[in-house]
Structures are given as C-alpha cells and as structure tokens.
C-alpha cells in the first residue's frame, strides 16, 4: 500500500468523524453527514480503500475516540441503538466502491450508493430492532423511514461530487 493510499484512507476516516458532528437529533438515530461521507469514500477511493477508511473510523470510535455523533466514542456506542449503522459503514463503502469499479460511470456510482445505503439500513434496522426489544416495525419507523429522502439526496450529491474529486486528485 502506497503512502498516498494511506493518506486518502486517513483523510476519509477524519472527514467521516467531522461529518458525524454535523448532527440533527430526530430520535434515537440522528441525521448526520456520515452516510454521505461513507458513500463518497467508496465512490472516490474504491472498494478496498473505501472499506479501509471506514474501518479505521469505526476502530477509532470503538477504542474511545470521540468520533461518533455528538462527540461520543467507545464500544458502548457500537452496542447502542446506532451501532448497527456504524458497523455497516465499512461494508457500505466497499459496496459503493465495488459497484463503481465494476460498472463504471454514473450508473455504477448510483448503484453503489444505493447498495451502500441498503447495507446501512439493513444492519442499522436490525440492531435498532434488537435494542427496542424486538420491535422491528418500530425500528423501521424510527431508524429507516425518516431517513430515506435525506439519504437519497446524500447519495445524489456523493455521485455528483465523486467524479470531480477523482479527477481533481488524479484517481481516474
């Protein structure tokens, strides 16, 4: 792995930490810029480095660095109601990058972004449902449904920005 790869992965881990602090509380799961940056990391860096950048982010938070929403950190956050969403970030970045690499162009980026959001919703919904004592319907109403319009906008912005960023930093 080249120094440039490590730098870009570290940059996206840091950007995700900053994006987590831009938070609008609407219940047990806040609206943040994390999903946007997770998708952007996969679209810009590709599957492998996108995954790595988000894995670094999750590990930073797990060991106690205050990188999660509202300057929280520690394993308790991963065990809490939002833990499934956070745990899904590396996988979502991987899918966003993988489908972009395989399909190429805007179509691949859109498919990758939607797949990434799907992974985040699935793991987040499952963890929130367990946290709510098995009430998966309520978990869907609280942790998925309100976020769909916002996350579609985040995905569209990530797709629009990713191509420009890749060209600007000479990634493709």
Measured CA to CA, the distance from residue 166 to residue 85 in angstroms comes to 26
Q: Is the pTM of this model over 0.85?
A: yes
79 vs 166, more confident:
79
Beta bridge partners of 72: 68
Phi, psi dihedral angles at 171 (to 5 degrees):
-100, -5
Q: Residue 80: pLDDT above 90? A: yes
Residues 146-155: what's their mean pLDDT?
96
For the segment 98-129, what is each residue's pLDDT rounded down to a tens digit?
999 998 789 999 999 999 999 999 999 999 99
Do the beta carbons of residue 131 and residue 81 sit within 8 Å? Answer: yes
Do the beta carbons of residue 59 and residue 73 sit within 8 Å? Answer: no
Measured CA to CA, the distance from residue 109 to residue 101 in angstroms comes to 9
Token duo for residue 38: 């997770």
Q: Residue 172: pLDDT above 80? A: no
Residues 78-96: what's their mean pLDDT?
97
Token duo for residue 41: 């990391």
For the segment 12-67, what is each residue's pLDDT rounded down to a tens digit?
999 999 999 998 888 778 889 999 999 999 999 999 999 999 999 999 999 999 99
- What domains can be seen in the chain, in order of their start residue? 3-168 (1.10.1760.20)
SS3 content of the chain, % helix, strand, coil (to 5): 80, 0, 20
| pLDDT value of position 104 | 77
């Amino acid at each position: 792995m080249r120094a440039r790869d490590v730098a870009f992965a570290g940059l996206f881990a840091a950007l995700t930490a900053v994006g987590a602090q831009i938070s609008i509380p609407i219940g047990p799961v806040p609206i943040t810029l994390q999903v946007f940056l997770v998708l952007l990391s996969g679209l810009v860096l590709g599957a492998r480095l996108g995954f790595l950048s988000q894995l670094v982010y999750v590990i930073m938070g797990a060991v106690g660095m205050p990188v999660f929403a509202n300057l929280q950190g520690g394993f308790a956050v991963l065990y809490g109601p939002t833990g499934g969403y956070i745990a899904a970030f590396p996988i979502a970045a991987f899918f966003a990058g993988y489908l972009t690499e395989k399909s190429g162009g805007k179509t691949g980026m859109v498919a990758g972004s939607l797949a990434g959001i799907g992974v985040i919703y699935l793991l987040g919904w499952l963890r929130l449902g367990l946290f709510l004592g098995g009430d998966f319907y309520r978990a869907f109403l609280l942790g998925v449904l309100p976020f769909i319009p916002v996350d579609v906008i985040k995905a569209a912005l990530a797709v629009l920005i990713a191509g420009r960023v890749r060209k600007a930093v000479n990634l493709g």
